[in-house]
Amino acid sequence: AQSVTQLGSHVSVSEGALVLLRCNYSSSVPPYLFWYVQYPNQGLQLLLKYTSAATLVKGINGFEAEFKKSETSFHLTKPSAHMSDAAEYFCAVSDLKGMRFGAGTRLTVKP
């Protein structure tokens, strides 16, 4: 079965600093990978998705992620953090049984 592992349950950055949220996947077939964001008391919102068209995927709110097959990684980055980026972020992989989510990474942005 496919799965994802998010490294670090909490990440704290200063406003304007680089955001890097890590995700590694295990998959026996080319995966479909996703990043979602969840703000307090809200559902999950799709940030971006990888479906094999391009290894560097751009999403909403200035986020992007790079698919690296050799490292089985799909890390999420943003060059400059904004206070409004504070939220929980989930990496996910799609397989025949549905979407499997990582445990989530809570991003804190300090002024």
Partner 1 sequence: ETGVTQTPRHLVMGMTNKKSLKCEQHLGHNAMYWYKQSAKKPLELMFVYSLEERVENNSVPSRFSPECPNSSHLFLHLHTLQPEDSALYLCASSQVVGGFANYGYTFGSGTRLTVV
- The site for partner 1 (CB under 8 A) is made up of 32, 34, 36, 41-46, 49, 51, 90, 94-99, 101-104
* Identity of the residue, 41 or 70, whose beta carbon is nearer to partner 1 in the bound complex: 41
* Identity of the residue, 35 or 81, whose beta carbon is nearer to partner 1 in the bound complex: 35
Q: Nearest-5° angle of CA 58, CA 102, CA 35?
A: 15
Rounded least distance, CB 14 to partner 1, Å: 26
Rounded least distance, CB 10 to partner 1, Å: 12
* Identity of the residue, 25 or 34, whose beta carbon is nearer to partner 1 in the bound complex: 34
String of DSSP letters for 75-108? EEEESS--GGG-EEEEEEEEETTEEEE---EEEE
Strand-pairing partners, residue 90, are 36
